[in-house]
Amino acid sequence: MSYDTDPRLLRAFLAVAEELHFTRAAARLYVAQQALSRDIRRLERELGAALFVRTTRQVALTADGARLVPLARRVLAAHDELAATFRSAPERPLLVDVGVPIGTAHGVLEAARERVPDSCELVARFHSGLTGAAAEVAAGRLDVSFGRIAALPPAVRAGLEHQPVRLEPMAVLLREDHPLAARPAVALAELAGETLYAAAGNPQTAEWTDLAERLFTGRGIATAEPFPEIEGSQEFVRVVRKRGWSVLASVEFIEVPGMVLRPLVDPVPLSPVSMVWRRGLRHPGLDALRAAARELAEQQDWLALPGSDWWLPEGDARVMGVRG
């Protein structure tokens, strides 16, 4: 690779490599398709290699293109980190919704904090779901959130940008005396006849309830009746224990005394997690978050599929760039 390759060309390459579609990649980058094709041709000339095989029906990576993907991501991550480190301090802190102080979003936030100078403040907020947080992001009362962007209404998504972060395996939270609690993992078929809490009744987490209902359909699993929004981990633990609910969860979840967390299998259901921010937002903290998310996803295989037996709605798979 030329030592002075324009980062814009690498961003253009990655957009096409991830979308495998020039029209979608151009829309993602807010450039004309003709300009995007020109940038790809320029990069191919600089590298002396064809990166894509194009036909009238599909776009595919060449062997050289596939080799370039991880290299380009590392170069851009370093570029973003450099910009975040030496850019002038922002006038205000960046407000980042992580839901709870554990798990994927919180891990990205902690990693990003290690990348920025003391003058750049990343302040955590704890909203209960992306549906509610997205409205706050759109209104400018919040800057960044994490969650399932495919479930948001098109009008809301139009004002947001996102970056896939993780395909997080789902789990079930069971009472210690539940017949399935002794299993190391629980097959979805074994939950037939069960009723699981999936935040129905909480308008802030509508995207999670929708994902649960899609997963339960045809499997004989019922969704618990709507219940008012439960605010805070302590109150969640109290209500869940009092009502004796089993809970649809992710593999990283708060500890609930008297209950155990078991991964779901056959197939492995996936919860798609994207980092979401207001379109046009510029902030060194955002650059650091994006770089941290890319690095963690690569190091921990967060976007890798768990073998061949997995479940994810088609629309979510498309948004997350899943192919297979």
Q: What does the pLDDT look like over 238-272, one tens digit per residue?
A: 888 888 888 999 999 888 888 899 999 999 999 99
The answer to whether residues 168 and 264 touch, using CB atoms and an 8 Å cutoff, is no
For 104-143, the pLDDT digits (tens) are 999 999 999 999 988 899 999 987 789 999 989 988 889 9
For residue 226, the enclosing domain spans 169-269
* Tens of pLDDT, residues 182-222: 999 999 999 999 999 999 888 889 999 999 999 999 999 99
Query: H or E segment at 264?
Result: strand 259-265
Q: Where are the alpha helices (H) located in 179-308, listed in sequence order?
A: 206-216, 233-243, 284-299
Q: Among the three residues 67, 84, 101, which one is the final residue of a domain in this structure?
A: 84
Closest to 147 measured CA to CA, from 205, 212, 200, 226: 205
Q: How high is the pLDDT of residue 324?
A: 62
| Residue 231 within any structural domain of the chain | yes
Question: Domain containing 117 — which CATH number?
Answer: 3.40.190.10
Pair 64, 108 in one domain: no
170-187: average pLDDT: 95
What pLDDT is recorded for position 78?
83
Where among 84, 114, 135 does a domain terminate? 84
Are residue 173 and residue 228 in the same domain, yes or no? Answer: yes
Phi/psi of residue 85, nearest 5 degrees: -75, -40
Given this model, what pLDDT does residue 160 score?
Answer: 92
What is the distance, to the nearest Å, from the Cα of residue 155 to the centroid of all Cα atoms in its chain? 20
Full-model pTM: 0.70
Q: Which of 319, 297, 255, 304 is nearest to 108 (CA)?
A: 297
Contact 147, 129 (CB under 8 A): yes
Residue 148, token pair as written in the block: 């399932």
Does residue 10 surpass a pLDDT of 80? yes
Does one domain contain both 215 and 276?
no
pLDDT for 31: 78
CATH classification at residue 14: 1.10.10.10
- pLDDT tens digits, 79-104: 777 765 555 444 589 999 998 888 99
Residues 282 and 161 placed together within one structural domain of the fold: yes
- Same domain, yes or no: 153 and 274: yes
What are the tokens at 314?
């088609």
Phi and psi of 165, rounded to 5°? -115, -45
The tally of domains found in the chain comes to 3
Q: What is the pLDDT of residue 239?
A: 84
Contacts of 200 (CB under 8 A, 6+ apart): 209, 223, 224, 225, 226, 227
What pLDDT score was predicted for residue 2?
46
Residues 119 and 64 in one domain: no
**Of residues 306 and 230, which shows the higher confidence score?**
306
Taking only the tens place, the pLDDT of each residue in 12-65 is 999 999 989 998 888 878 778 888 999 999 999 999 999 999 887 889 999 999
